[in-house]
Structure formats: structure tokens, C-alpha cells
Amino acid sequence: MSFSEDEVRRYARHIILPGIGGDGQRRLKEARVLVIGAGGLGSPAAMYLAAAGVGTIGLVDFDQVELSNLQRQLLHDTDDVGRPKVESAGDRLNDLNPNVNVIPHRVLLSSENAFEVLEPYDVVVDGTDNFPVRYLVNDACQMLGKPLVYGSIYQWEGQASVFLPGQETPCYRCLFPEPPPPGTVPSCAEGGVFGVLPGIIGSIQAVEAIKLVLDVGETLAGSLVLYDAMRNEFTSVKLRWDPDCPVCGKHPTVTELIDYEAFCGLAPGQAPPEAERTPSAGA
Amino acid sequence: MPVRVKVPSVLRTHTGGEGQVDGDGTTVREVLEDLETRYPGIRARLVTGDGALHRFVNVYVNDEDVRYLGSLETEVGDGDVVSILPAVAGG
């Protein structure tokens, strides 16, 4: 795969950078990365991946842009309110870098379509906003053998990690074996989220996705980075592979994809706002 | 033993908004019981009626998950940091 003169100029700072170089830049161009959720985390993640020259970026999101998204979701403009997020995000990414092939997936991920959507990609970036899709994506990546770059935010705090397929390295279920019951965990729509926070965590996800593509450095596999914006504190804790993990343990009990009840943090019977009624990606 | 306890956003309603509070005890269980005396309701957010940790909450002593140490009976010493990490899904 060769580069045009414009591409060489565009990526000049990467091409001279130890750790990337011409070969690394070619790997980026050949790479296919799927970003699940064109929201708070997906915005910086997808924008940095596009700017970096990742050749193919898939975007999964079923939602339309809402005014309340714009406080943190930099993929979308004020004029985009009402448009499908994958469309406005695609425009933004191609404005940033017309060399990127953006593939929109305007679907609700479920056990029916997850394998089909994820299969063509090398690396998956999880920027969803709900537990059912997080577990679905984790399980699908383990079963398909794909590396998953995890990020999650709430109020002033975020977390990020990398879950590699197979035994010996932890996955999301090693960390949290099952989703919390409905009503026990509030969603961002209920608890609020600091607008800059996904900028930090989503950028960490872009870093990790690029390192996985390049096969350089040390990834976050086996550790979980925690960021507290209010206390300006980065900490990191060890994640261990759990031999009893239901999906990547020695005797898996989760052997097919599960559609957990879509609760978005609210107890059954409580009416969520319109935009939260379906398990969608990236609010 | 005095320890520092890091409280996540989702539990700060119990601590008057504080992200870090002092705790006391020789095990994680004692520290959580100590917290309960000053921040009523916080214990039930972490521990089930049977006295085990909820599966969607992790507790770390320094950077180690207590599930791989002694669970709630994990011993803590002067200056240890107990971090509470709930599952969050926002994106």
C-alpha cells in the first residue's frame, strides 16, 4: 500500500517518529478499527484514529444527534441535531481526513448481528453507554478473538483498559462477571457527566487502539486506569485473568451471546427519557 | 489502623461529596463497618445481605483486587489505600 505526496506530508510527524515510521503508518492505513458508539468516548477516539490515518473506521450507533449531546460529543455540530449520528460523524471524520474509509453501521447491536458487525475489524473500541451492549461486545470479542479497547465514564470519573482474547489475560467479565441489576446503577442521563471527561478517556482508547495496530509498547492489558477529574488523579490497578470467568475462564458458562435486559440504569417501571429507551451506543 | 478510602462518584452522595475519606479497621470488612457508622447506607451499596461483596463492585487494597487476596477479610495496615470501584457504563 503506497502513499500519495499529500499523505506523506500529512503523516510526516508520524513517519519520522520512532515507534511508527513509514512501516507503522502503512499498518495504520491497512488497519480496520470499529468504534462502537459515536458519542462522548467515540468522538475523540474516532477523530484521533482518523487523523492518525487509520484506513478503515467503522462506526456503530443507532441514535440521532441531540442538543444535550453537544456538551461532550465533538463528532457532531449544532446543525447536526436530528441527523443520524453515524452520518454526522462520518462527515466529520472525512472532513478531518478524506483518506479514511468510514463505514457506518446504523444498527442496535444484539446477539443477532454482533458477530456480523464485528467480524471484519482488527480492533474494537468500546464507547457504548449501557451495560447490555458492553457485555455483548466483550463476549463477542472474546469469541471472535479480537482485542477490545474498553472505556467507561460517569460524572467526574473514567476508566480504561484493554481486553485481549483468550486465557491468561483478563476480559470485562473477569472484572465484573455480571451486569448490575436494574436500578442499582445510575446512567449518565440521570447522574450527569463532565463534558471534558470522555475527551480524556476516549483519547486513551485511541492511544491503545493505535498501539495494538502497530504492535508497539505496552498496552493496558492486565491493568485498569482510573481517572478522577475532580481530584486530578490518575491511578492504575491490576486486573487479573479469572480462571472462573464465565466467558474466558477454564470452563466457560457463557458460550453464546446474551441480550441483557435494556435498563439503562433505571429500575423497571420507571420511564426513561425518549433517547434512552433502547440500548443504543454512545449517549 | 487508619486507612484512606477512595469513594467513587456514584457513592459520594453518602459522603457529602467527598472523594476520599478516612477509615479505620484491621480488615476491609471492619473498614466498611467503620464507614457505615459515619456514612449510613454506604455498606449496603457494597455488600450483599449475605455479607459478600456485590459482583458489580470491586474493592482494591492499594492496587490489588481483594478477591485475589482475602476478600472482605483482607488485612489492611496503616497508610493503605482502599479503593472502591463500581461498574459504570457511561460513554
Task: State which residues form the domain around B52.
Answer: 2-86
pLDDT over 60 (residue A176): yes
Residue B63 buriedness (CB in 10 A; 0-12 / 13-18 / 19+): middle
What's the pLDDT band for A188 if we cut at 50, 70, 90? low
Q: Is A14 exposed, middle or buried (0-12, 13-18, 19+ CB in 10 A)?
A: middle
Mean of the per-residue pLDDT values of chain B: 94
Where residue B55 falls among pLDDT bands split at 50, 70, 90? Answer: confident
Distance from chain centroid for Cα B26: 13
Flag whether B57 is in a domain.
yes
Residue A47: give its domain's CATH number: 3.40.50.720
Q: Does A135 touch chain B (CB under 8 A)?
A: no
Closest to B88 (Cβ–Cβ): which among A153, A236, A239?
A: A153
Q: Does A239 touch chain B (CB under 8 A)?
A: yes
Q: What is the pLDDT of residue A262?
A: 58
Residue A187: band (very low, low, confident or very high) from pLDDT cuts 50, 70, 90: low
A20 part of a folded domain? no
Question: Which among B9, B64, B91 is the nearest to A155, CB-wise?
Answer: B9
Specify the pLDDT at position A179.
85
Looking at chain A, the whole-number percentage of residues with pLDDT higher than 70 is 90
Q: How many structural domains compose chain A?
A: 1
Q: What is the DSSP letter of B31?
A: H
Amino acid at A173: R
Instruction: Give yes or no for residue A261 having a pLDDT over 90.
Output: no
End-to-end CA, chain A: 36
Q: Give the global pTM.
A: 0.91
Least confident of A98-107, A175-184, A263-272: A263-272
Average pLDDT over residues A219-246: 95
* Structural domain range at position A209: 27-265
Is position A211 within any domain?
Answer: yes
Residue A271 lies in a domain: no
- A231 and B19 within 8 Å at the Cβ level: the answer is yes
Is residue A190 predicted with pLDDT exceeding 90?
Answer: no
Average pLDDT, integer, range A156-160: 96
Q: Is residue B18 part of a domain?
A: yes
Contact A152 B88 (CB under 8 A): yes
Q: Does A204 contact chain B (CB < 8 Å)? A: no
Whole-number pLDDT of residue A268:
40
Q: Is the confidence at residue A8, as pLDDT, over 60?
A: yes
Residue B91 lies in a domain: no
Q: Can you tell me the distance from the alpha carbon of A150 to that of A73, in angstroms, rounded to the nearest whole number?
A: 18
Within a domain: A115:
yes
User: What mean pLDDT is predicted for residues A159-170?
Assistant: 94
DSSP B55: T
Split into its structural domains, chain B has a count of 1
B8 part of a folded domain: yes
Helices (H), A119-248: 131-144, 172-175, 188-191, 197-214
pLDDT tens sequence across A84-138: 999 999 999 999 999 999 999 999 999 999 999 999 999 999 999 999 999 999 9
Q: Say how far apart CA A243 and CA A250 lie, in whole Å.
A: 5
The verdict on residue B52 lying in a domain is yes
pLDDT higher than threshold 50 for residue B90: yes
Give the integer Cα–Cα distance in Å for A278 and A61.
Answer: 11
